[in-house]
Amino acid sequence: MKVQGFNHVTINVRNLEISINFYTSVLGLNIRHKGNKDAYLEWGSAWICLIEQDSYSEHIERQLGVDHVAFYIPEDHFKEAVKSLQDNHVKLVREAIKRGTGWSINFLDPDGTQLELHTSNLEERMKVWN
């Protein structure tokens, strides 16, 4: 398996509006989608997904900050990559699933950082995102 580039990073945030303002006004990223609890912002061929976490919930499973980092892999290499993860006994967080027009699989590195292999780009994702 050989990843072919950075795809996206997902960041858990406390306040979506404040975070959108920072990433668009301060860093100059372009907003592509804004939902009730999420936003997609792009720069170049990569993107950031911001996800607002309910700070009042007593059962927050995730922390604020980086949720996961995704790497691009061509779809015709995806099954081989999944097999490689399995053969190397990598702990999977989420099995391979079709998300929009592409495939993704989430797994942990040796220190517990969540990583993802993803086969589509932001343009393809936005075609099917509500």
Quote the tokens at residue 31: 């907003």
- Burial of 71: CB neighbours in 10 Å, binned 0-12, 13-18, 19+: middle
Q: Three-class SS string for 4-42?
A: CEEEEEEEEECCHHHHHHHHHHHCCCEEEEECCCEEEEE
Quote the tokens at residue 6: 């950075």
Which one of the listed residues 52, 58, 95, 116 is annotated catalytic?
116
Long-range contacts of 55-63, Cβ-Cβ distance < 8 Å, separation of 24 or more: 55/14, 62/12, 63/12
What does the DSSP 8-state code read for residue 67? E
116 is annotated as an active-site residue: yes
**Active site (catalytic) residues:** 116
